[in-house]
Amino acid sequence: LNKQPVNLKELICETVKMLSARAQEKGIALTMAIPDDLPEVPGERGFLEQVLINLLDNAVKYTLSGGIIEIGALVNGKEIKVYVADTGIGIPEESLPRVFERFYRVDKARSRDMGGTGLGLAISKHIVEAHGGKIEVESDQEGSTFSFILPR
Ligand code: ATP
Ligand code: MG
């Protein structure tokens, strides 16, 4: 890993811009909650961008029209936490421990129509852990929140 100071706020803004047209077409509101003084984190920008794209891509893919997605970041002691919260279809409890596995998809029939391979989250977990961080998911019928922490 070639770690450099990464401006996460800027990176998140760029990623949001990349996906905002798709969200808008689907009738999904995409909002950001990031403090202006968010410190930089040591990391490899391109890899962290890939994580953000994967999480936001999923949120847009698995949220219906009229839904809301919030991407936010906050400082917690020596860590920075980034989260992507959606009001999407949710993930059944029994599937939660498996969503970070390679090729795992909750609903095979539905997922086939959606496109993709089931690798996005496995890759994201790999990248976050290579940065010394951790990735997590919480979900219920109201939606899903994926978050990851990175050491400062
Ligand atoms: P790929 O990312 O390779 O294009 P994918 O999106 O299906 O394909 P992952 O990103 O690894 O694969 O996600 C794995 C599975 O977890 C998805 O198929 C989906 O069933 C479920 N999932 C992921 N994110 C969400 C979300 N925000 N809401 C509901 N289900 C989700
Ligand atoms: Mg995905």
Confidence category of residue 80, pLDDT binned at 50, 70, 90: very high
pLDDT tens column, 25-70: 999 999 999 999 999 999 999 999 999 999 999 999 999 999 999 9
Which ligand 1 atom is at minimum distance from the Cα of 111?
18
* Predicted confidence (pLDDT) at residue 137 exceeds the cutoff of 80: yes
- Average pLDDT estimate for 116-131: 96
58 C-alpha vs ligand 1 centroid, how far in Å? Answer: 5
Interface predicted TM-score (ipTM): 0.98
Check if 15 has its Cβ closer than 6 Å to any atom of ligand 1: no
59 C-alpha vs ligand 1 centroid, how far in Å? Answer: 8
Q: How far is CA 106 from each of CA 5, 45, 92, 96, 151, rounded to the nearest angstrom?
A: 36, 29, 8, 9, 30
Pocket test for ligand 1, best of 19, 22, 55, 58 (most atoms within 8 A of CB): 58
**What's the burial of 6, exposed, middle or buried (CB within 10 Å: 0-12/13-18/19+)?**
buried
Confidence category of residue 23, pLDDT binned at 50, 70, 90: very high
pLDDT tens column, 81-111: 999 999 999 999 999 999 999 999 998 766 7
Q: Which residues pair with 134 in a beta bridge?
A: 149
Which ligand 1 atom is at minimum distance from the Cα of 120?
2
Check if 111 has its Cβ closer than 6 Å to any atom of ligand 1: yes
